[in-house]
C-alpha cells in the first residue's frame, strides 16, 4: 500500500515533467519541434535575395536554439493547426492577411507600393497539441 | 509700431501613430493638425513663447522636435524653423523645416486668410547592422548567417514642401483649412544604384471647426478633420471644452477604435500642465493592447 502511493506520486511527477516539455519546447532538442524566426526587415526591390523579397517568417523543424526573435512550437511534423499573419501599417490599417505560412507580403497594398517605414505583423499560431501563441513583430520595409 | 513675437517651443514627444498630430502639449499649441497656416491662428501666437516637455511610456519609437518662430505683425509675415528627430527600429529620420507664412485680411478685416508654405529637408540615416534579414536566419543559431543583401546607402537626403491655408473669422469663431503635405512626393531610395525605392506619399487634410460659448467662461470647440494619405481615407472628430481659459479637456476619435483623451490645467500664470492618453484597444495594432500616456508640462516664457 505504502509503495503504491509512492508509485502514484512518481507517475504524477513524470506527467508534470512531460506536460512542461510538451507545452513549451524551450531549449530542448525535439525532432518534431517547429522553430519560427521572424526577420525585422525586408526589401521588395526585385534585386534578390529571394528570401528578403517578401515578409514572412522563416521556419524549420527540429531546431532547438532560442533567442528573442524565435518562437518554439511543438508540432507532430506537420506545420501548424492554425496560422494567421496580418500586416498593418503604422496607422493600424490592415494591408495583408494570410493563413498560409509560405505566403509572404510583397510590400504592396491595393496594387500600390507601400512606402519605406515601420510595419507590424501580427501572428496567431496554434500548435497541434499546444496552446495558442499571439505575437506582434515590428519590421521595416526598406528599398 | 512693430511688434515682434517669438515662439519658442521644445518638445520631446513619444511615438504617435499619427505623427503629424501634435498630441497634447500646451493648450494653445495643441491644434489637431500642425499646419504652417496656423502659425498665428487664435491662441498660437497669444502664447507668445513657450517651453515644454512631454514624457511618455512608449520607448519603441522616440520623436523629439524643436521649433522657433519669428512673427512680424507689421508685415503679417512669419518664419518658423522646426527640427524633428524621429527614430524607429534602425532608421533615424531627421527633418528640418522652414515655414513661411503670410496672412491676408479680407472683407472689412474680419475674415483672415492665412497661407503657409513649409520647405522640408529630410535626412534618413540607416544602421544596416541592426537589420535581421530572412536569408540570415539559421534555425539553430538565430540570425547569424551572412546576408546576400546589398546595401550602400547609409544616408538618404530628400527635399519636399507642404502647402496649407486657413480661413477664419475674427468675430464668428469658425475656421476651415486645408493642408497638402509632401506635394513633390520625393523619391526615397535606400539601395543606391539599383533604382529601387518608393515615393513619399502625399497627404491631403481638410478640416474645419467652430468655437461656441456655452455659458460665460465655458467654451467648446468642435473640429472635424478629413484626411487622405496613401490609400487611406480617415475622418477624425475632436471636441474641446475649456473653462475660464484655465482648465480644458478634449477627446479625439477616428470613429473606429482609436481615441485620444486630453486633460489640462493652467495652475499658475504661464504654466500649463497636460495629460493625454492614446487609447488603442487592438491587440493586432503596432502596439498591441498597450495604451500610451503622455504627461506634458509647458511654460510661457513671455
CA distance B195 to A45: 9
Please say whether the beta carbons of B68 and B84 come within 8 A: no
CA distance B53 to B111: 34
Would the pLDDT of B224 be above 80? yes
Tell me which residues of chain B, numbers 103 to 142, contact chain A at a CB-CB cutoff of 8 Å: 124, 126, 130-137, 139-142
How many C-beta neighbours within 10 Å does residue A16 have? 10
Q: What is the pLDDT of residue A107?
A: 93
Would the pLDDT of A11 be above 80? no
For A49, which of B149, B201, B258 is closest by C-beta distance? B149
Choose, out of B286, B290, B291, the residue to mutate when testing the contact with A (most A CBs < 10 Å): B286
End-to-end CA distance of chain A: 72
Whether residue A140 and residue B89 make contact (CB cut-off 8 A), yes or no, is yes
Higher confidence at residue A20 or residue B194?
B194
Choose, out of B139, B190, B200, the residue to mutate when testing the contact with A (most A CBs < 10 Å): B139
What percentage of residues in chain B have a pLDDT greater than 90? Answer: 2
Choose, out of A57, A91, A124, the residue to mutate when testing the contact with B (most B CBs < 10 Å): A91
Q: In 3D, which of B102, B12, B104 has the Cα closest to residue B61? A: B12
b (16+ CB within 10 A) / e for B110-142: eebbbbbbbebebebebebeebbbbbbbebeeb
Q: What is the pLDDT of residue B53?
A: 54
Please say whether the beta carbons of B65 and B21 come within 8 A: no
Pairing of strands A41-42, A132-141: parallel
Interface ipTM: 0.72
CA distance A39 to B143: 8
What percentage of residues in chain B have a pLDDT greater than 70? Answer: 62
Burial of B236 (0-12, 13-18, 19+ CB in 10 A): buried
Q: In 3D, which of B71, B66, B18, B20 has the Cα closest to residue B41? A: B71
Q: Which residues contact B224 (CB under 8 A, 6 or more apart)?
A: B207, B208, B209, B235, B236, B237, B238
What value does the mean pLDDT of chain B take? 71
Distance from CA of B268 to the nearest CA of A (A): 37
CA distance B100 to B118: 6
Would the pLDDT of B223 be above 80? yes
For B200, which of A65, A91, A115 is closest by C-beta distance? A115
CA distance B167 to A63: 64
Q: Output phi, psi for A61, to 5 deg.
A: -95, 150
Whether residue A116 and residue B134 make contact (CB cut-off 8 A), yes or no, is no
Higher confidence at residue B299 or residue B103?
B103
Q: What is the pLDDT of residue A121?
A: 92
Determine the average pLDDT of the residues in A77-91: 80
Could you say which DSSP state residue B269 is in?
T
CA distance B70 to B116: 14
Determine the average pLDDT of the residues in B199-219: 88
**Span of A77-91, A109-123, B58-72, B266-280 with lowest mean pLDDT:** B58-72
b (16+ CB within 10 A) / e for A67-87: eebbbbbbbeeebbeebbbbb
Instruction: Please tell me which residue of chain A has the smallest CA distance to B90.
Output: A140
How many C-beta neighbours within 10 Å does residue A105 have? 23
Could you say which DSSP state residue B144 is in?
-
Residue in this structure with the C-alpha cell 546576408, named with its chain if needed: B147
Q: Which residues of A touch B139 (CB under 8 A)?
A: 35, 37, 58-60, 62-63, 65, 70
How many C-beta neighbours within 10 Å does residue A22 have? 13
Higher confidence at residue A94 or residue A14?
A94
Would the pLDDT of B253 be above 80? yes
Q: What is the largest CA-CA distance in chain A?
A: 74
User: Could you tell me if B289 lies within 8 Å of chain A, comparing CB atoms?
Assistant: no
CA distance B6 to B26: 16
Would the pLDDT of B126 be above 70? yes
* CA B266 to the chain's CA centroid: 22
Q: What is the pLDDT of residue B298?
A: 61
CA distance B80 to B140: 54
Higher confidence at residue B141 or residue A98?
A98
Would the pLDDT of B65 be above 70? no
b (16+ CB within 10 A) / e for B55-66: ebebeebbbbbe
Please say whether the beta carbons of B265 and B295 come within 8 A: no
End-to-end CA distance of chain B: 19
Q: What is the pLDDT of residue A72?
A: 65
Please say whether the beta carbons of B52 and B299 come within 8 A: yes
Amino acid at each position: 500500500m505504502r509503495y503504491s502511493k509512492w508509485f502514484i506520486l512518481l507517475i504524477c511527477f513524470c506527467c508534470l515533467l512531460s506536460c512542461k516539455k510538451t507545452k513549451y519546447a524551450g531549449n530542448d532538442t525535439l525532432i518534431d519541434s517547429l522553430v519560427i524566426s521572424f526577420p525585422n526587415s525586408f526589401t521588395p526591390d526585385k534585386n534578390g535575395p529571394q528570401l528578403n523579397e517578401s515578409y514572412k517568417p522563416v521556419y524549420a523543424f527540429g531546431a532547438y536554439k532560442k533567442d528573442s526573435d524565435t518562437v518554439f512550437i511543438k508540432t507532430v511534423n506537420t506545420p501548424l493547426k492554425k496560422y494567421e499573419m496580418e500586416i498593418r501599417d503604422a496607422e493600424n490599417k490592415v494591408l495583408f492577411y494570410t493563413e498560409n505560412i509560405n505566403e509572404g507580403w510583397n510590400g504592396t497594398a491595393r496594387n500600390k507600393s507601400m512606402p519605406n517605414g515601420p510595419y507590424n505583423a501580427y501572428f496567431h499560431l496554434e500548435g497541434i497539441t499546444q496552446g495558442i501563441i499571439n505575437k506582434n513583430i515590428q519590421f521595416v520595409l526598406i528599398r | 509700431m512693430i511688434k515682434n513675437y517669438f515662439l519658442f517651443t521644445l518638445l520631446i514627444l513619444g511615438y504617435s501613430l499619427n505623427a503629424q498630430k501634435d498630441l497634447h502639449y500646451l493648450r494653445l499649441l495643441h491644434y489637431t493638425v500642425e499646419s504652417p497656416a496656423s502659425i498665428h491662428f487664435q491662441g498660437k501666437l497669444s502664447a507668445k513663447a513657450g517651453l515644454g516637455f512631454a514624457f511618455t511610456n512608449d520607448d519603441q519609437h522616440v520623436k523629439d522636435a524643436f521649433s522657433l518662430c519669428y512673427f512680424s505683425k507689421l508685415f503679417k509675415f512669419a518664419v518658423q524653423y522646426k527640427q524633428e528627430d524621429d527614430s524607429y527600429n534602425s532608421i533615424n529620420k531627421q527633418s528640418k523645416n522652414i515655414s513661411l507664412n503670410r496672412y491676408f485680411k479680407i472683407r472689412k478685416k474680419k475674415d483672415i486668410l492665412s497661407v503657409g508654405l513649409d520647405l522640408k529637408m529630410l535626412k534618413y540615416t540607416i544602421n544596416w547592422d541592426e537589420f535581421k534579414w530572412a536569408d540570415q536566419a539559421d534555425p539553430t543559431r538565430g540570425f547569424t548567417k551572412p546576408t546576400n543583401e546589398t546595401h550602400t546607402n547609409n544616408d538618404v537626403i530628400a527635399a519636399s514642401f507642404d502647402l496649407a491655408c486657413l480661413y477664419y473669422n475674427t468675430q464668428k469663431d469658425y475656421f476651415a483649412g486645408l493642408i497638402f503635405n509632401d506635394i513633390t512626393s520625393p523619391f526615397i531610395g535606400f539601395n543606391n544604384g539599383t533604382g529601387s525605392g518608393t515615393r513619399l506619399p502625399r497627404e491631403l487634410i481638410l478640416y474645419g471647426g467652430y468655437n461656441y460659448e456655452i455659458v460665460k467662461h465655458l467654451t467648446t470647440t468642435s473640429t472635424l478633420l478629413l484626411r487622405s494619405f496613401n490609400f487611406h481615407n480617415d475622418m477624425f472628430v475632436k471636441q474641446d471644452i475649456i473653462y475660464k481659459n484655465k482648465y480644458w479637456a478634449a477627446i479625439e476619435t477616428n470613429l473606429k477604435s482609436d481615441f485620444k483623451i486630453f486633460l489640462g490645467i493652467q495652475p499658475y500664470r504661464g504654466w500649463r500642465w497636460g495629460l493625454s492618453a492614446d487609447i488603442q484597444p487592438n491587440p493586432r495594432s503596432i502596439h498591441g493592447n498597450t495604451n500610451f500616456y503622455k504627461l506634458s508640462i509647458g511654460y510661457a516664457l513671455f
